[in-house]
A and B are shown apart, each in its own frame.
Chain A
Amino acid sequence: MTLLQSAATQLLALSTGTLLVTAVLLVWRRSLGAAWRLLAVQGVALAALVLAIAVAEEDVELLGVAAIILVLKGVVLPLVLARGIAGTGVAREDAPLLNPTAGLVTVAGLTTVAYLVSRPITEGVGGAGGGQAGPAALSVPVGISMVLIGFLLLVTRRRALSQVVGFLVLDNGIATVGFLTAAGVPFVVELGVSFDVLLIALILAMLSGRMHAAVGATSVDEMTELRD
């Protein structure tokens, strides 16, 4: 393995570790200000992951994708979220359904589930080549853990913008799995997906602002007029 390849493997390991740690910290911390900064770090880590895969696979197109992800998920989306938070004036998730300690223990459980679920995926991606799965395929559980952590955030947070954070973590997790199993999707599709996620984040931020103006609060629990 050349020096560049081994450096790429190191970067891969470092970025998957960072992705997982930022996801865990997002469950731990209740401050919305910390949340968008952690999302920015997560975006940068994802871009580093793509860079590592680009070097390992010697694929120039992926370098462009890494740049797009750095700009979009490392800068633009966290800024959209920060603007939304400033607009509603909510600084903390004050009454989550799960206190931090219980949340962290749940994350431990979810990580275990992710490892179990990823077994067929890792085997399917690696085993077909006839040999051991490469380091990228072995890190798939990290992506699945991020998806599950995103779900946890979506379900247990009451503030509208915290749910947006959960959705963005979910999306980062799916992107991670995509890059680890298949070195990303075709460029056209990647562009479309990124654009769609950006628009959804913008819409959600704007809706939460309207919610704040119309309802007077952004706690999703208080929106209970529509039910049977």
Chain B
Amino acid sequence: MSDVLAQVVTLLVLLLQVAVMVALAPVVAGVTRQVRARVEGRAGAGVLQPWRDLRKLLAKRPVHATGTSWVTRAAPLLLVCSSLLVAALVPLVAADPLSLVPDDLFVVISVLLLGTVALALLGLDAGSAFGGMGSSRHMMISALVEPTVLMAVYALSIPVGSSTLSLIVTDRRDDPASIASPAGVLAVVALVVVVLAETGRLPVDNPATHLELTMVHEAMVLETSARDLAWVELGSWLRLTVLLGLVGNLVVPWGIATEPTLASVPLGVLAVVAKITVLAAVLGVAEVAMAKLRLFRVPELLAGSFLLAFLAVTASYLVA
């Protein structure tokens, strides 16, 4: 009986986690834009502007281009669902997985890939030149990122002996030396490059541009409007938020809740919100300092991150 109760409590904590992430996602986008604006000397639109945009978009009726199919209606929803699922799987507030839901890092990556493919199909469906171009660039980047992700995951799982995310995070919390070990540092650096590539941030893609030669993500969502656009934006921001949360919990694992008690859960929520906000601000500052890479140089960057992940794997065999 208490076993079922424990499972229900865990489920509640997970739902809380997802809710917090959904609430936080537009704020993260807002924080990044606001920090960037301030550093560039502008006033900025305010941290809550993305929420206002979402509210505006959700109230409108979408317009679909002629020749589009059910994919245009389904893809934004698929993207949001995959992002929500990732928010449930990654240990953000609590590192206490449901026994039925696999919390493996490989599962997380596969779900993320689902969202990626949905977005790419969305770009292709309207049949426009920009959409196709964006989708092809997006898939190229994803394809190049996959080996790095797998290597980084492998490197992180070697000291623990398992690729279950919650185990990895709690292990790093219990043994701080592994955070500063060369394998740990290299794997996290490779993961950061992966996050930047997957979520379409500088230096891989500029989220604020609409120039034909430089768009990747924006090109895919050009034909989307109103509610569909709201889902797509929310889905993308949620991905960024969750991945930032993952990186934050890997680098600074303290604060995460291991049992769903009344004291540890609010602490977990506060901790993860703080980490994500800080990382979002850092991202904003870093984006001001970086220039976007030319597209043919993106493979260089991804090869470099692959090498770092590879070195992380070999370095972790040193300790083992």
Residues of A within 8 A of B (CB): 6, 10, 13-14, 16-17, 20-21, 24, 28, 100-101, 104-105, 107-108, 111-112, 115, 138-139, 141
Contact = CB atoms under 8 A, between A and B. Distances in A.
Given A24-B311, A111-B310, A111-B311, A100 B186 contact: no
A108 B307 contact: yes
Interface residues on B, range: 20 to 34
A138 B318 contact: yes
State the majority secondary structure of interface residues on B: helix
19 contacts: A16-B182, A17-B181, A17-B185, A17-B186, A20-B182, A21-B308, A28-B304, A100-B300, A100-B304, A104-B304, A105-B303, A107-B307, A108-B306, A108-B307, A108-B311, A111-B310, A111-B314, A112-B314, A141-B318
Contact of A101 (B177, B300, B308): B300
Contacts of B315: 17, 20
A59 B144 CA distance: 48
B23 interface: no
Given A111-B314, A115-B314, A138-B318, A24 B307 contact: yes
Contact of B303 (A104, A115, A139, A141): A104
Interface of B: 177, 180-182, 185-186, 299-300, 303-304, 306-308, 310-311, 314-315, 317-319
Nearest to B310: A108
Given A100-B300, A101-B299, A101-B300, A14 B310 contact: no
Best-buried of B177, B182, B319 by chain A (most CB within 10 Å): B182
A164 B276 CA distance: 44
A104 B181 contact: no
Given A21-B308, A107-B307, A10 B300 contact: no
